[in-house]
Chains A and B, each alone.
Chain A
Amino acid sequence: MFWDKKIETLSGKDLEALQSKRLKKTINQALKIPFYKKQFERAKIKGLKIKTTADITKIPFTKKQDLREGYPFGFLAVPLKDVVRIHTTSGTTGKPTVVGYTKNDLAAWAGLIARNMRMVGVKEGDVFQNMVNYGMFTGGLGFHYGAELLGVTVVPSATGNTKRQIEMIHDFGVTVIHCTPSYAMHLSEVAEETKADLGSLRIGMFGAEPWSEAMRKALESRLGVTAFDSYGLSELFGPGVAFECPERDGLHIWHDSYLVEIIDPLTGEQLSDGERGELVVTPLVKEAMPLLRYRTGDVTMKFEDGCLCRRGQKIGRITGRSDDMLVIRGINVFPSQIEHVLLKIPEVGNQFMVYVDRVNHLDEMTVEAEINRDYFSGELADLARIQKKVVKELRDALELRTTVKLVEPGSLPRFEGKAKRVIDRRGDAI
């Protein structure tokens, strides 16, 4: 099923022409931002003439760090009065990355979501429960307005209170859900415990964290849904950038709206189809916050083969990150954030280790920190107080509940050169 068949199946010269036209417009829009003006001057490409999309390689990359340095509104190409919404993503040192949207941006974004939902078979008459955070996170409002545009009945249930979520699925006859895969697994367990009937469900859209094929099988059998992988990031509007079609073999990234490159993260050289590397995207329809060659940090590849559904070139499911960012329960976490928090707490040392596990299908993060000799009073109660303090400070900074383990001074590994402080044990766990 298509939302906009012509655009979705656009290929060859027609697609190239549309991309070139939109790229020129995007570059003009980007040059309203002092950062890009300076970058073009520095790269001596001030009068760069874009004839084809291949000319893009002359433009330097934009990194997440650049966006952070532009906090809060340094990357807006329009006056703030034209920005009708702001979302944020968590940053490394407390300051988030801000993304802004014009009315046209929101319309384009909702259109992409509608396109994805129609692609996986959502249609009028469906009842859609959106079980993600509705605040600054883009997943809530992003899917909400896309689903309304598509014309389905939306239940904006947001997160929390799993029993109530299950009750609504049952009572409202919900057919389609969107949440993180780990929350979906949790939901299925609570439903099993309470012997709740989720028989109305038929489609599950899962994203915001990497998940395995084993997880897909488990979710499908437990929830009675067909499960689809959803990919996006706030810098590129939010969810909806790429999505699985009913073939469920790779994700269709929307080439009319995103110019896609796969690069070697070390050299920056473009890689060929079938080669795994970092996804670099130039969004082609963004007004408020145009970006050029944005390094997503996500590792994937372009597919060599076409798709039976006749939509454009697919990318592989995301297999990891080219930097040290962790995604825990949908929230971005950088080890440097943890370091920053520990530095502010004199009772513990600055060395730390992070362990990520999947416990009962939910991501759990454990931080080990050394107790500072000078703050050991000999009392267990004081140690418990220090432990609580670290948990609280981490929660305030990361917006994430963590387990903190206090360990003996000097017992954590010391690193020479690049530290390997994160051990992700989620692996292929269901």
Chain B
Amino acid sequence: MDTKKYVIKQISVFSENRPGRLAAIAHALGEENVNILAFSIAEADGFGVVRALVDHPEKAKKKLVALGFNVAFTDVIAVRMKDKPGGLYEIAKLLGDANINIEYSYAYSGKEGAVLILRVDQVDDAIKKISAFGVQLIESSVFH
């Protein structure tokens, strides 16, 4: 199975936990005409990582690096959920049954329906297992 087409590039931006940092990132992406499809903020002791799925990850990275931000790409996958009560449960149970460990996750609801973004440790393995369990993965071309 070709797992590559399901691997999505998330941009991860290191940010100090202080007012205005998210605005600075969002402003830069807006200037470059980069659309943010989904994003989340994870925070630790005094700093955090802003994670975003964008339509033009390379352009976004180039711009942010030029502004002095610390940016890295992270491989994530996206699965489709039913946009109704119990939709998340269905997926979460399947992932548990497939023994997929989630490092972190965030979700959005858009024109593709409800989508769960997952960061897992063994991406290829996870894609195979998830497909085998009948869960629909979204191809990266849908985003980028």
Contact = CB atoms under 8 A, between A and B. Distances in A.
Q: Do A and B bind each other?
A: yes
Interface of A: 371, 373, 376-381, 383-384, 387, 403, 405-411
Most-contacted residue by chain B among A387, A403, A408 (CB, 10 A): A408
A380 B46 contact: no
Interface string B45-81: 1111101000000000000000011111110000000
20 contacts: A371-B14, A371-B47, A373-B70, A376-B70, A376-B71, A377-B72, A378-B10, A378-B11, A378-B12, A379-B12, A380-B49, A383-B14, A383-B44, A387-B45, A406-B14, A406-B47, A408-B15, A408-B68, A409-B68, A410-B68
A408 B45 contact: no
Nearest to B11: A378
B17 to A, nearest CB: 9
Interface string B1-21: 000000000111011100000
A409 B70 CA distance: 7
A177 to B, nearest CB: 35
Most chain B beta carbons < 10 A, residue from A376, A378, A406, A410: A378
B42 A407 contact: no
Given A380-B42, A411-B16, A405 B70 contact: no
A269 to B, nearest CB: 46
B14 to A, nearest CB: 5
Contacts of B46: 405-406
Contact of B44 (A373, A377, A387, A408): A387
Contacts of A377: 12, 72, 74
A378 B74 CA distance: 6
A405 B10 CA distance: 25
Interface residues of B, number: 24
A371 to B, nearest CB: 6
B26 to A, nearest CB: 16
Contacts of B15: 408
Overall SS of chain A's interface = mixed
A383 B68 contact: no
A378 B49 contact: yes
B14 A379 contact: no
Contacts of A378: 10-12, 49, 51, 71-74
Which among B48, B70, B104 has the highest number of chain A CB atoms within 10 Å? B70
A371 B13 CA distance: 12
Contact of A408 (B14, B51, B72): B14
A409 B69 CA distance: 8
Contacts of A405: 45-47
A409 B67 CA distance: 11
Nearest to B65: A373
Contacts of B69: 408
Nearest to B119: A379
Nearest to A406: B47
B44 A384 contact: yes
A121 to B, nearest CB: 47
Nearest to B42: A380
Given A407-B16, A408-B14, A376 B72 contact: yes
Nearest to A366: B46
B1 to A, nearest CB: 26
Contact of A371 (B51, B70, B103): B70
Nearest to B46: A405
A411 B73 CA distance: 22
A379 B68 contact: no
A39 to B, nearest CB: 48
A405 B18 CA distance: 12
B75 to A, nearest CB: 10
A376 B68 contact: no
Given A376-B72, A409-B68, A383 B16 contact: no
B21 to A, nearest CB: 8
A237 B103 CA distance: 56
Nearest to A374: B70
A408 B43 CA distance: 14
Contacts of B44: 380, 383-384, 387
A407 B21 CA distance: 12
A379 to B, nearest CB: 7
Given A377-B72, A379-B49, A383-B49, 7 more contacts: A378-B10, A379-B74, A380-B49, A381-B103, A406-B46, A406-B47, A408-B16
Contacts of A410: 68
